[in-house]
């Protein structure tokens, strides 16, 4: 059992039994404490037990209750991953300015940046910390079962070879970037039960060398976000029962999205970037475009009026910014996250034209906008709007 009963709820706007019965809510925060150690059959029973018809809400949900130990554990993880880079940087600057150059200190920094870590390992993804992350943000997933590409998600059918043959390769689009899209990081811990596969995540290679921040990798399984690496990840099939290779998560608005992150505002800044859509057409990819309600409300960005940090971020291809939330520390607010999904299947096209790429881009993001308008009520944001630029 989970041992943390209270509901993450809000006032329901509709409760009639026939109200959108085909739209399902999977309350992942309700999964039991022993979920990752259960046998496969019991895990599917657990997923079924947290799946109910979705209800529209007049206001956002409140965060679910958590055990104190779990909340302390995940808060410490946030402090290490988000706070350590700035703490180490500040200490280093002070040491240089005051004339101290202790080699031991800089050796320690190099160790933190380069020490080996297990790659593509399930230890953290299948841990109590993973469940704490899911509960911290009270993660819920909304699925419209009338849409064929969503009909089998979060069911045993995703383990069938026929499902995998029909859906791989897969790209999960995590929108928006926010400061960090923690809903998307939590998704990585359960993607195997959502769509049958453990995903890699495309991102800046520099993240893998930033002390503290690099400890995100055991959750997200980082691969470089360049064309060659993306295609390699989508074409890969790992033999045996490891269920990885062929699925990749991407944050389409990238660094620009991090700097545009504003509490209460849903904006996706993509601009003229079309490289990922081109790759998806070339590979015949199934795209799951997800909107993660709550992402922009997790952390507050300290605005830089001169745009210096944004210029540095673009130069180093990694978001360099100051942020804070709870207790003025880099500990995100406990914002409930609701995920909605728009799927698209790309027809494999060897050399797609500019027109084909643009048409597919419009299908993906036009569809996401439509689903946003249809399903925002399930997240408790019936009047919020999405702007894609």
- Give the pLDDT of residue 75: 96
In a domain? residue 17: no
pLDDT at 1 over 50: no
Structural domain count, the chain: 1
Q: What is the pLDDT of residues 208-220, one digit of tens each?
A: 898 999 999 999 9
Residue 14 located in a structural domain: no
Supply angle C-alpha 219, 252, 228, rounded to 5: 75
Owning domain of residue 66: 23-388
Q: What local confidence, expressed as pLDDT, does residue 173 receive?
A: 97
Asked whether residue 3 is assigned to any structural domain, the reply reads no
Whether 140 is covered by a domain: the verdict is yes
Report if residue 16 sits inside a domain.
no
pLDDT band at 177 (very low <50, low <70, confident <90, very high): confident
pLDDT tens per residue across span 75-113: 999 999 999 988 998 888 888 888 777 888 889 999 999
Q: What is the pLDDT of residue 309?
A: 63
Q: 227-235 and 275-283 helices cross at what angle (nearest 10)?
A: 30
Tens of pLDDT, residue by residue over 326-367, are 888 999 999 999 999 999 999 999 999 999 999 999 999 999
Q: What average pLDDT does the segment 20-45 reach?
A: 95
Task: Name the DSSP class of 326.
Answer: G
Residue 328 lies in a domain: yes
- Confidence category of residue 385, pLDDT binned at 50, 70, 90: confident
Q: How far apart are CA 363 and CA 17, in angstroms?
A: 32
Both structure tokens of 366: 């036009």
Model confidence at 179, pLDDT cuts 50, 70, 90, reads confident
Please state the pTM of the whole predicted model: 0.89
pLDDT at 272: 87
Calculate mean pLDDT across residues 240-249: 85
Does 301 map to a domain?
A: yes
What is the number of alpha carbons within 13 Å of residue 128 lying toward its C-beta? 10
Domain contains 18? no
Mean pLDDT of the chain: 88
């Amino acid at each position: 059992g989970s041992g943390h009963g209270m509901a993450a709820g809000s006032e329901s706007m509709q409760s009639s039994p026939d109200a959108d019965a085909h739209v399902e809510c999977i309350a992942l925060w309700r999964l039991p404490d022993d979920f990752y150690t259960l046998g496969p059959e019991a895990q599917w029973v657990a997923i079924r037990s947290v799946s109910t018809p979705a209800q529209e809400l007049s206001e956002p949900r409140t965060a679910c209750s958590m055990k104190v130990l779990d909340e302390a554990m995940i808060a410490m993880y946030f402090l290490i991953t988000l706070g350590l880079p700035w703490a180490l940087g500040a200490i280093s600057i002070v040491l240089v300015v005051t004339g101290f150059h202790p080699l031991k200190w800089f050796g320690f920094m190099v160790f933190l940046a380069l020490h080996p870590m297990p790659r593509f390992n399930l230890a953290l993804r299948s841990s109590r910390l993973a469940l704490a992350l899911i509960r911290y943000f009270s993660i819920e997933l909304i699925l419209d079962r009338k849409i064929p590409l969503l009909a089998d998600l979060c069911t045993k059918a995703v383990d069938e070879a026929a499902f995998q043959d029909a859906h791989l390769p897969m790209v999960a689009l995590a929108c928006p970037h926010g400061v960090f899209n923690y809903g998307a990081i939590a998704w990585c811990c359960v993607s195997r039960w959502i769509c049958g596969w453990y995903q890699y995540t495309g991102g800046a290679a520099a993240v893998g060398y930033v002390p503290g921040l690099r400890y995100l990798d055991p959750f997200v399984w980082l691969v470089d976000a360049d064309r060659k690496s993306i295609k390699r990840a989508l074409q890969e099939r790992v033999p045996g029962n490891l269920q990885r290779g062929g699925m990749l998560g991407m944050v389409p608005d990238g660094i620009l999205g991090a700097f545009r992150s504003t509490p209460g505002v849903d904006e996706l800044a993509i601009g003229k970037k079309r490289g990922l859509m081109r790759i998806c057409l070339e590979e015949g990819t199934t795209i799951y475009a997800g909107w993660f309600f709550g992402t922009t409300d997790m952390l507050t960005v300290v605005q830089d009026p001169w745009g210096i940090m944004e210029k540095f971020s673009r130069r180093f291809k990694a978001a360099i910014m100051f942020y804070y939330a709870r207790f003025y520390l880099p500990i995100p607010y406990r914002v409930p996250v609701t995920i909605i999904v728009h799927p698209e299947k790309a027809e494999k096209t060897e050399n797609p034209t500019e027109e084909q790429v643009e048409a597919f881009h419009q299908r993906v993001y036009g569809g996401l906008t439509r689903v946003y308008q249809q399903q925002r009520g399930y997240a408790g944001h019936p009047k919020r709007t999405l702007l894609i630029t």
